[in-house]
Structure 1
Amino acid sequence: MNKLIVAALAVSAIPAFARPAPLVSIPTHDAFFSSLQQLCGKAFEGKVTVDNQGPSKFNESRLVMHVRKCTQSELQVPFHVGEDASRTWIITKTGSGLSLKHDHRHQDGTDDVSTMYGGHTIDAGYNTVQSFPADEYSKQLFVQQGIPQSVGNTWQMYIYPEQFTYRLVREGREFRVDFDLTKPIEAPAAPWGYSD
């Protein structure tokens, strides 16, 4: 029997649930992911433009995002707050949309008790804007930590030619940081818990 036919029959015999999920193919998700991916290797300084809970360390520290590591399905974007390198945003193509996770580490690289929270897209969004309502894991984590108000969190990311925005909203809360994409800066060291 022809080897190609044998290979085709072998693939078709694999149950659908055992095959890897296809990468997301929604055009708006792909466009958003691609725009951020094009910044790979670059770092940018930002500033808090909205914080309705008043001044915090975010307002008083140098804020830097670094589009540090990129594959066709995952982007790792450390968010440095002054000397604090504990935060990394991870945007992933999941096969049904885009996922945003917040990887929080201690300085020794171990996981923070509050880590890998985030959300998943529930609609197409836009080429320039995607929203990530809190997922079930995050909601349970927030309740366990005694911050049930965070169950209503939605994280948003905006990407335009001159600006990237990270925004958190929920009832009674808004926090926003804008990064200037027109002025790349020297990339910071690896975030805590990452070496390469």
Structure 2
Amino acid sequence: MHIKNWLIGISIMASSMAFSKEAPLVSIPTHDAFFSSIAQHCGKAFEGKVAVDNQPSPAFDAKLIMFVRKCEQAELQIPFYVGDNASRTWIIKKTGSGLSLKHDHRHKDGTDDPVTMYGGHTLGAGFNQIQSFPADEYSKALFAEYGLAQSITNTWQIFIYPDVFSYRLIRDGREFRVDFDLTTPIPEPDAPWGY
């Protein structure tokens, strides 16, 4: 009887250990290729320029830098610096049902901006080089709450090619794209705000 109880205990322990380990996320080839193409630049920073902006903002008349700062098996963190403003970090995650893109916005003291962690999730396979992230329900509700109704139809796109990384925002009447030159890494910037 004691042996039976001992075996049951071992079995329960083994089951809980198996569940406590993080299971690998199922992913499809296009998502894996896209994710890996960005991750290969881990630890490197690159300068960019605005390639398209049909509603120009003086805020982006500054030095633009992306830094592939943190790479884990299922998450990439890419701060986007606009001059001295280090408030923005793009977070790309494997979710098990695709890829998500979130925008982590912080104040200089590291606290969250009220409009943060907005973004979207892939709806299809996309391509090895291009993924699209239409605004998710959380983001739409956030934009509505803060009077940013025009952003509810946002779709963000990221392109990754051997020589260039592009971040693009599109919606009705709006297009914005920054291209980063991957051929010439630059010195690593300081950590973004809050990190």
TM over 0.5: yes
In structure 2, the residue matched to 1:71 is 72
Decide which of 12, 36, 39 is 1:37's aligned counterpart.
Answer: 39
Identical amino acids, percent of aligned pairs: 68
The whole-number CA distance in structure 2 between the counterparts of 1:71 and 1:157 is 19
Contact 2:79/2:86 (CA < 8 Å) preserved in 1?
yes
Structural mapping, 1:173-188, within 5 Å:
173-188=174-189
Say if 2:192 is the partner of 1:191. yes
The whole-number CA distance in structure 1 between the counterparts of 2:51 and 2:108 is 28
In structure 1, the residue matched to 2:58 is 56
Which amino acid in the other structure matches residue 30 of structure 2?
Answer: T
Larger Rg: 2
The whole-number CA distance in structure 1 between the counterparts of 2:56 and 2:190 is 29
Q: Secondary structure at the match of 2:103?
A: strand
The 1:55–1:38 alpha-carbon spacing in structure 2 relative to 1, beyond 3 Å, is: same
In structure 1, the residue matched to 2:84 is 83
Q: Secondary structure at the match of 2:114?
A: coil
Contact 2:77/2:89 (CA < 8 Å) preserved in 1?
yes
The whole-number CA distance in structure 1 between the counterparts of 2:34 and 2:145 is 33
The whole-number CA distance in structure 2 between the counterparts of 1:110 and 1:24 is 33
In structure 2, the residue matched to 1:114 is 115
Which amino acid in the other structure matches residue 37 of structure 2?
Answer: S
Aligned Cα RMSD in Å? 2.2
Identify unmatched segments of 5+ residues in structure 1.
none
Hey, which bits of structure 1, 4+ residues long, moved more than 3 A? 6-12, 18-22
In structure 1, the residue matched to 2:27 is 25
The structural deviation recorded for 1:149 is 1.1
The structural deviation recorded for 1:55 is 3.7
The whole-number CA distance in structure 1 between the counterparts of 2:126 and 2:12 is 37
Q: TM-score, normalization: structure 2?
A: 0.90
- Show CA shifts across 1:94-119 (max 9, x none): 01000100000000000000100000
The whole-number CA distance in structure 1 between the counterparts of 2:21 and 2:153 is 34
